[in-house]
Amino acid sequence: MTEPNYDPSPHDSAVSGMFGAIAGTYDFFNRFLSFGIDIYWRHVLASAVRLGDTKRVLDLAAGTLDVSLAIRRNYPQATVPAIDFCHPMLARGLHKLAGADGRSILPVTADAKHLPLPDASVDCITIAFGIRNILPREEAFAEMLRVLRPGGRACILEFGSGRERIWKGLYNFYLTRILPRIGNLFSRDRTAYTYLADTICAFPPAVLFEDEMRSAGFVHTWYRKLTSGIVCLHVGEKPL
Ligand SMILES: C[S@@+](CC[C@H](N)C(=O)[O-])C[C@H]1O[C@@H](n2cnc3c(N)ncnc32)[C@H](O)[C@@H]1O
């Protein structure tokens, strides 16, 4: 892993520090708080990946590397630069890299808004549960479009807007009342799961997020809601 390539903003420092504090329990709480459905969501994301001539898929906000590994399982010929600005999150995933799949996953500590990659150097980009944390999003979109080859795909998995009522409000009650309490009870960082609920509620509905992607310059955009819209897969392409 390389060292950070950027001078972090207060927001970036706070987000990175928060993920650093929960890195040790991140995977466990992901499975537990989502009742295991997160594995399926990441599988759907990896299935949207399309490989081209570079055979490189950039996994952004890669965290503990589950998406990077899912990409390699679907595309054994792919090389996967796995970028995250939180070193402890990447470090926590390193033990998963034993074996052939792991050798083609290249963890790098860097900011999604300042990617250490040349122009048009990757076929596809994935980002799971990361874009919600990045401000301003336009800067990340601009970098994604810079490093994608023309015609390349960005596949963005993110929670739907928590403001939309799901399962007659049962999910919203779980998100805003139950989940932060369970997270605060067991996690070392008491703010992390309140932050999770707050950022999900502040995130735009799918149709507006698609507009953002189009305004940033992506074409052929579409989205697919998963699990009644709790999560949404967004796809867009760099123009040819
Ligand atoms: C909720 S975790 C998701 C991790 C992984 N993609 C997954 O599916 O489990 C969000 C990750 O985004 C990273 N992140 C947030 N903002 C970032 C930025 N500006 N640049 C790089 N990584 C960022 C955090 O450090 C954290 O590891």
Per-residue pLDDT of the chain (240 residues; tens, 9 = 90+): 555 556 788 999 999 998 998 898 889 888 877 788 999 999 999 999 999 999 999 999 999 999 999 999 999 999 999 999 999 999 999 999 987 566 799 999 999 999 999 999 999 999 999 999 999 999 999 999 999 999 999 999 999 887 778 888 888 888 888 877 877 777 666 687 788 888 898 899 999 999 999 999 999 999 999 999 899 999 999 999
Domain 10-237: CATH architecture, name and number where available = 3-Layer(aba) Sandwich (3.40)
CA distance 1 to 83: 9
DSSP strands (E only) in 38-92: 57-60, 80-84
How many whole angstroms from 221 Cα to the centroid of ligand 1?
Answer: 23
Q: Is the CB of 196 under 6 A from ligand 1?
A: no
The residue behind tokens 């310059």 is: 217
Which mutation among 2, 5, 19, 139 tests ligand 1's pocket best, with the greatest number of atoms within 8 A of CB? Answer: 19
Domain assignments of the chain as residue spans, ordered by start = 10-237
How many CB atoms within 10 Å of residue 136?
Answer: 11
Q: Is the CB of 62 under 6 A from ligand 1?
A: yes
How many whole angstroms from 84 Cα to the centroid of ligand 1?
Answer: 6
Rg (CA), the chain: 17
Question: Backbone dihedral region of 82: left (phi > 0), alpha (psi from -120 to 50 degrees) or beta?
Answer: beta
Q: Is the CB of 88 under 6 A from ligand 1?
A: no
